[in-house]
Amino acid sequence: MRTTVGIIGGGPAGLLLARMLHRAGIDCVVLESRTREYVEHRQRAGMLEQGTVDALRACGAAGRLETEGLVHQGIELRFAGERHHIDFPVLTGGRTVTIYAQTEIVKDLVALQLAEGPPLLFEAEALAVEKPESDAPVVRFRHGGREQTLTCEWIAGCDGFHGISREAFPAATSRTYEHDYPYSWLGILADVPPSCEELIYARGERGFALHSMRSPVVSRLYLQVPNGTDPDDWSDERIWDELAARFAIDADWTLERGPITAKSVTPMRSYVHEPMRHGRLLLAGDAAHIVPPTGAKGLNLAVSDVSLLARALTAVHRTGSTQLIDRYSKLCLSRVWQATRFSYDMTRMLHAQPNGDAFESRMQLARLRRITASHHAAAELAANYTGLPLPV
Ligand code: RFL
Ligand code: PHB
């Protein structure tokens, strides 16, 4: 098989890149190791920056998002028994965020791709990227029980944190930066209307909790738990009791409970691989970097990476100019490091230290007090949360 751009991974990064390239008249093939059913039901992100919504809209993939997405004007910070509203439009000159599940974005992009787009192969596992330094790099993959090759002009490694694309970077030129946090998130989906109109980020001595949502009738909630926690150790009743305790405030407010339909534990980690390009192989999304979910940046970074990548590949295709491709890694990484910093700060500000460090606890409260007392400090949070502009 031959194509212009071989895309490894059919998550949000790979699928959106394929859509953007298709709209630009560039052919590509997407190889996804899992089944369609699996990728469409993997529970993950839900908060979209305005730039992410704009990118989906610009490539004709926002039809359902326009009607089903929930536009949010801010978030609520809870601490010390108090609630504080952070008003995004006021603080950012009109920006908002949208709640629309990653599963739904993936379903929308898969449907478009199968109907109109270039080939998308499920259960096609990339085994290796070969000759990335040459003009004709190759993806070796297994599909339908046999090994095949896909010869490309460019290869996009969109295969997530556990993918194989990064392995094709020579050790001598790769640098990785990592930070593991001493806690995880227990996430649940529940068939109950959200008990709030906007997301609640709650900090307390019992640990962090987040109230998010998927629709007017489905809630998504998270609890800070120790690393290594087995979700089966948490009965539904224990989860609701702990959530209610962590969200408790002095005012009258009740957390509505309902049947829990999914439960999982996610460790918290920051990771960045530099550079994001080697020869004709370009990384995008979780394949190159991951952030803890407290800043809600992972999916949004995947979208900004592929927006830059599609722009760069389109320039090569139309004019032969490699100027943007040559700057791809540097441009992405500047935004990646800003999102890494923001996610780190949010995580450190909101999670209880497992060792109960009283000084850290006071520092967290001082940071939160500053944000709720100062327009400048709140505007800084709002600018980062709603998304920094794409670098030019
Ligand atoms: P993905 O989604 O991991 O997709 C990679 C795809 O590549 C496939 N693959 C292969 N295919 C072929 N051959 C191989 N050898 C392959 N190896 C892997 C995989 O099957 C998969 O389909 O990466 P992508 O596309 O870069 O997208 C990144 C996002 O999924 C991720 O950053 C977000 O989900 C992170 N995240 C959040 N991001 C946000 O922006 N806002 C949020 O609110 C948010 N909440 C979250 C999150 C992640 C979470 N977890 C579970 C880590 C909440 C949670 C709990
Ligand atoms: C989610 O809705 O899953 C979500 C929202 C905000 C976050 C993390 C996860 O910071």
Below-50 pLDDT ranges, the chain: none
CATH fold of the domain at 5-177+268-386: FAD/NAD(P)-binding domain (3.50.50)
Q: Active-site residue numbers?
A: 72, 201, 293, 297, 385
Residue labelled with tokens 């939160």: 368
Torsion sign across C-alpha atoms 223, 226, 227, 230:
negative
DSSP 235: -
DSSP characters over 93-132? TS--EEE--HHHHHHHHHHHHHHHSS-EETTEEEEEEE-T
Helices 298-319 and 323-350 sit at what angle, rounded to 10 degrees? Answer: 180
Q: Please give all residues whose beta carbon lies within 6 A of any atom in ligand 2, as ranges.
A: 45-47, 199, 210, 212, 220, 293-294, 296
Residue 101: φ, ψ to 5°: -70, 145
Q: What is the pLDDT of residue 118?
A: 84
Q: What is the pLDDT of residue 201?
A: 98
Looking at the CA of 343, which ligand is closest? Answer: 2
For atom 32 of ligand 1, the residue with the nearest CA is 298
Q: Please give all residues whose beta carbon lies within 6 A of any atom in ligand 1, as ranges.
A: 8-14, 31-34, 39, 44-47, 102, 125-126, 158-160, 163-164, 185, 187, 266, 285-286, 293, 296-300, 302
| 286 CA distance to ligand 1 middle (Å) | 6
Q: Residue 246: helix, strand or coil by DSSP?
A: helix
| 350 CA distance to ligand 2 middle (Å) | 14
Q: List beta partners, residue 278.
A: 281
Q: HSE-up of 19 (CA within 13 Å, CB side)?
A: 28
Closest CA to 190 of 260, 262, 99: 260
In the chain, which residue ranges form alpha helices assigned H by DSSP?
Answer: 12-23, 36-41, 50-58, 63-68, 88-92, 102-116, 236-247, 298-319, 323-350, 358-373, 375-386
